[in-house]
Amino acid sequence: MPTVKLKVSGFLPEKPEVAWAQPEGTLIVISEGETISDLVYRLAARNDVFRKIIFGKENLELGANVIVVLNGMLVNLHDRSESLLREGDEVVLLPVVGGG
């Protein structure tokens, strides 16, 4: 089965419930034809802490609250559901955090 490396930066890896989401990356098995959005929704369905941090409280849309980088390139909001993942890809999720 093909795998991608998922890196999650920010405060998410500090949560013990998502210890698998390490900044240095975790190999995740993907299905043929799986997109970035598919991967994130699948992981969110399995882990409530991940879901709440990635999607926030308002909705279940992978929107502007998360920056997605695929193989070093930013992926815009509209391309996330169409960007097919391939063996060896690196996906980085950067939760946007506000504050001051």
Could you tell me the pLDDT band of residue 91, with boundaries at 50, 70 and 90? very high
> Any idea what the CATH number is for the domain that residue 54 is in?
3.10.20.30
Please count the other Cβ atoms lying within 10 Å of the Cβ belonging to residue 33.
8
pTM reported for the whole predicted model: 0.81
For 89, the domain range is: 3-95
Tens digit of each residue's pLDDT (9 = 90 or more) over 60-73: 666 667 788 999 99
User: Angle CA(58)–CA(79)–CA(19) in degrees, nearest 5?
Assistant: 60
77 occurs within a structural domain = yes
Give domain status of residue 100, yes or no: no
Query: Using one digit for the tens of pLDDT, what is the confidence trace for 20-39?
Result: 666 678 899 999 999 988 99
- The band of 57, judged by pLDDT with boundaries at 50, 70 and 90, is low
Number of domains in the chain: 1
